[in-house]
Amino acid sequence: MQQTPNPTRNRQLPQTLPASEPRNPGMELDMDWVRAAQANRSAIERRAASLGTRRSVKKDHQAAWLLKAITCIDLTTLAGDDTEGRVRRLCAKARQPVRPDLLAALGMPGITVGAVCVYHEMVPAAVQALAGSGIPVAAVSTGFPAGLSPFHLRLAEIGESVTAGAQEIDIVISRRHVLTGNWQALYDEMRQMRAACGDAHVKAILATGELGSLRNVARASLVCMMAGADFIKTSTGKEVVNATLPVSLVMIRAIRDYHERTGIRIGYKPAGGISKAKDALVYLSLMKEELGTRWMQPDLFRFGASSLLGDIERQLEHHVTGAYSAAWRHPLA
């Protein structure tokens, strides 16, 4: 379904939000702060387990929250068999993520996803397909997903993607720097990657499933923010364990800590494994509870997800019609 551009409608795109957030300039590596970071796994898991039971969002509120979740989705395809045709279809879905009749019934026309996330080779196709929509293209980069290609090539890859039109770059960190406690190396690497991004926003993928402990997640989060990351992101989606609530709690508490000390707001992106509308609601309430409502906007919060949208569409149709929906009633991404 091709969308008719309508310049007068009230768009809900991230870039139309008041640009009040200064970008993270980064800071010197503060090892005292990094080493003091603690993460008690049992306590964190208890808090994570009660998040979904402490808050319940129902009816119109649920519909609004699910629509908000859609605007925070980085609609993603990161497969070896991606083609330009496949990416164009994804981009069309990004422009019109929910059937217009449902959006009309909800009084919310013009909803789009937060961004489209692809490999470098797919950036031009995505940029072209999204032209005029205001939806940014995010490129995974720096030897994604393992991040073990030559460092100068990883930096060069960032530049190539930016040149190709990517406005957001999802870099992967060198897990070995975390696992060996070489925080300075992690900091330096992140610093250079941030510089290579120029005006493009940089999301640092920590690959938390490979960092060994929540304490390491907390410390790596702090180091990446100190080195200038605009977002910190859990996973590539390719690790055995991807986004979880306990990991999210650790990362957003690090974000809160960074904001408390620097006044700078860093964004958060859980990626991989979030496929249910209910999960999206829990993540949104996690952001609200631990960071505040300001962090529930797409400039500070994204879901890295491919199948989440389908479930949200079904829930929205249920909300509008009162009857449970079916997947085939909604256009494929």
Burial class, 9, CB count within 10 angstroms (exposed 0-12 / middle 13-18 / buried 19+) = exposed
**Interface with other proteins, residue 64, by CB under 8 A:** yes
Instruction: Please identify, using beta-carbon distances, which residue of 54 and 329 lies nearer to other proteins.
Output: 54
Is 101 a catalytic site residue? no
**Interface with other proteins, residue 41, by CB under 8 A:** yes
Q: How many CA atoms lie within 13 Å of 302's alpha carbon, on the beta-carbon side?
A: 36
**Interface with other proteins, residue 241, by CB under 8 A:** no
**Interface with other proteins, residue 16, by CB under 8 A:** no
Q: Which of 270, 269, 275, 272 is nearest to 309 (CA)?
A: 275
- Member of 7, 22, 59, 326 binding other proteins (CB under 8 A): 59
Is 288 a catalytic site residue? no
**Interface with other proteins, residue 149, by CB under 8 A:** no
**Interface with other proteins, residue 289, by CB under 8 A:** yes
**Interface with other proteins, residue 30, by CB under 8 A:** no
Could you tell me the smallest distance in angstroms from the CB atom of residue 42 to other proteins?
4
Please give the residues from 176 up to 215 whose contact with other proteins meets the rule CB under 8 A.
213-215
Could you tell me the smallest distance in angstroms from the CB atom of residue 310 to other proteins?
20
**Interface with other proteins, residue 107, by CB under 8 A:** yes
Active site residue: 68, 74, 93, 170, which one?
A: 170
- Member of 11, 23, 55, 238 binding other proteins (CB under 8 A): 55
| Paired tokens of 143 | 């030897």
Is 32 a catalytic site residue? no
**Cβ neighbours for 273, distance < 8 A, ≥ 6 positions apart:** 235, 237, 242, 243, 244
- Catalytic residue list: 170, 233, 269
Site residues for other proteins per CB under 8 A: 12, 38-47, 50, 53-61, 63-65, 67-68, 106-108, 213-215, 253, 256, 260, 284-285, 288-289, 293, 296
